[in-house]
């Protein structure tokens, strides 16, 4: 039988009537641990949800990895690159690559009777992964995009629709200016999407890959490039390096040079901003663990001082200082355990409430999302619980040595 654990359990379960001073201290310590853990769980889940929501939106407009003309990746102008079926097969064969699709960009002007707006048309084909845009559609529907014909369909953002006062099924003229002169196309608005990413919503429209490529005056096998999606974002860097090794310094039939970039390299400001959130989380975790540790130290000291007579009796009966320290450490562990239980209930309760109801709203123009996003990561929550338990117990080891200064003869005086 574990002697310290047995005594600690007896004190914890049956000593409430004799604890007049330590009872409030125990409650305060329990509340400190519970609030600290709840805040840590909420902070981690909210930051993870926010980071992944923004990351998925940036990736949704492009891809994890882009293979394109070297000149395109180094500047802002679109230069064509040959994307035949053999190259697509090579890219699909790269380990951990989930999906490959061709794309083409072209710039134009949308004009109504009252206004006009410069936009960027992204041409996509039948292989387009429409999951992201489909999930963000607010009106109309996505057409079946083609790489062999012009269907004259256009998907625009709500931002563009509001600026030009456009509705679904409305016809609109688009003008394109390049080396071949001015070209005019008439499109029908098939759908309207809204992602709240201002820099993308303000200019990106979707149309057929065939249309965008022909408007640029390119050959039938020339496109802006290919977009690759990977299975695991955490492995993006090694996968993108593998893709780069496959295509770098390779020249196509038209003398253009291939290269590649991943989404982090294309949007360094956004991902640097998201990485700064990790520092905020670490600060919050440190502060909350410190709060829990301080309240536990205070509670333990009060408990030890109130149990001076009991400590003296145990010493007189032959208990060693180490055993008595272990009794109070076990006692503190029970308090921490209750605090962790309450903290998990509060933290996870708030997270699931927000996840299911979206009760806390945000300004999408500022935060890119309309509600506070949350993501439940159970392994990380388990780690938070274990870390809180271990740190709180560790900081109590030094205060527990106060027991060695308690003398049996002085502590067991008659009252």
For residue 73, give both structure tokens. Answer: 């990746």
Which residues have C-beta within 8 Å of that of residue 288, sequence separation ≥ 6? 35, 36, 37, 39, 40
Lowest-pLDDT range of 40-44, 123-127, 169-173, 313-317: 313-317
Over residues 238-245, mean pLDDT: 94
In the predicted model, what is the mean pLDDT of the chain? 87
Over residues 78-104, mean pLDDT: 93
The model's pTM is 0.82
Q: 3-class SS at 203?
A: coil
Over residues 72-92, mean pLDDT: 90
Length of the chain: 415
pLDDT at residue 398, as a whole number:
84
pLDDT at residue 404, as a whole number:
66
Lowest-pLDDT range of 35-39, 59-63, 411-415: 411-415
Going by C-alpha positions, the residue among 61, 41, 1, 8 that lies closest to residue 325 is 8
Environment class of residue 175 by beta-carbon count within 10 Å: exposed (0-12), middle (13-18) or buried (19+)? Answer: middle
Summarised one tens digit per residue, pLDDT across range 291-331 is 888 888 888 887 777 777 777 777 777 778 788 888 888 88
Confidence of residue 5 (pLDDT cuts 50, 70, 90): confident
pLDDT at residue 178, as a whole number:
78
pLDDT at residue 231, as a whole number:
94
pLDDT at residue 270, as a whole number:
87
Given a cut of 70, whether residue 1 has pLDDT beyond it is no
pLDDT at residue 19, as a whole number:
52
Please name the residue that has the structure tokens 């980071």.
Answer: 51
Strand boundaries in 197-336, DSSP class E: 204-208, 222-223, 225-230, 258-262
Please name the residue that has the structure tokens 């690759």.
Answer: 228
Over residues 183-197, mean pLDDT: 92
pLDDT at residue 9, as a whole number:
82
Going by C-alpha positions, the residue among 225, 189, 206, 215 that lies closest to residue 82 is 225
């Amino acid at each position: 039988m574990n002697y310290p654990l047995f005594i600690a359990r007896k004190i914890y379960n049956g000593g409430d009537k004799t604890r007049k001073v330590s009872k409030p201290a125990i409650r305060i310590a329990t509340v400190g641990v519970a609030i600290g853990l709840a805040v840590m769980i909420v902070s981690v889940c909210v930051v993870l949800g926010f980071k992944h929501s923004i990351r998925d939106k940036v990736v949704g407009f492009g891809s994890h990895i882009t293979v394109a003309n070297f000149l395109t990746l180094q500047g802002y102008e679109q230069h064509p690159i040959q994307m035949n079926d053999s190259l697509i097969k090579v890219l699909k064969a790269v380990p951990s690559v989930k999906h490959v699709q061709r794309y083409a960009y072209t710039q134009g002007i949308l004009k109504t009777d009252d206004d006009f707006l410069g936009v960027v048309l992204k041409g996509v084909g039948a292989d387009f992964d429409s999951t992201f845009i489909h999930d963000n559609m607010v009106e109309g529907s996505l057409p079946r995009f083609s790489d062999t014909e012009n269907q004259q369909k256009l998907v625009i953002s709500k931002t563009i629709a509001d600026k030009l006062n456009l509705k679904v099924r409305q016809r609109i003229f688009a003008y394109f200016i390049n080396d071949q002169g001015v070209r005019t196309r008439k499109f029908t608005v098939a759908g309207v999407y809204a992602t709240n990413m201002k820099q993308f919503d303000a200019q990106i429209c979707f149309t057929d890959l065939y249309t965008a490529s022909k408007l640029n005056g390119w050959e039938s096998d020339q496109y802006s490039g290919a977009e690759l999606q990977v299975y695991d974002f955490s492995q993006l860097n090694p996968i993108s390096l593998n893709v780069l090794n496959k295509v770098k310094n390779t020249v196509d039939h038209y003398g253009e040079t291939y290269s590649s970039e991943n989404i982090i390299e294309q949007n360094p400001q956004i991902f640097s901003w998201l990485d700064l959130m990790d520092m905020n989380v670490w600060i919050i975790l440190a502060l909350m663990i410190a709060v829990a540790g301080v309240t536990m130290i205070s509670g333990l000291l009060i408990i030890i001082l109130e149990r001076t007579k009991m400590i003296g009796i145990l010493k007189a009966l032959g208990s060693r200082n180490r055993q008595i320290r272990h009794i109070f450490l076990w006692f503190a562990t029970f308090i921490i355990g209750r605090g962790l239980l309450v903290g998990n209930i509060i933290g996870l309760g708030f997270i699931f409430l927000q996840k299911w109801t979206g009760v806390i709203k945000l300004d999408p123009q500022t935060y890119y999302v309309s509600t506070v996003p949350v993501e439940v990561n159970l392994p990380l929550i388990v780690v938070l619980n274990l870390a809180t338990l271990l740190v709180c117990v560790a900081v109590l080891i030094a205060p527990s040595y106060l027991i060695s200064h308690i003398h049996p003869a002085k502590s067991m005086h008659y009252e």
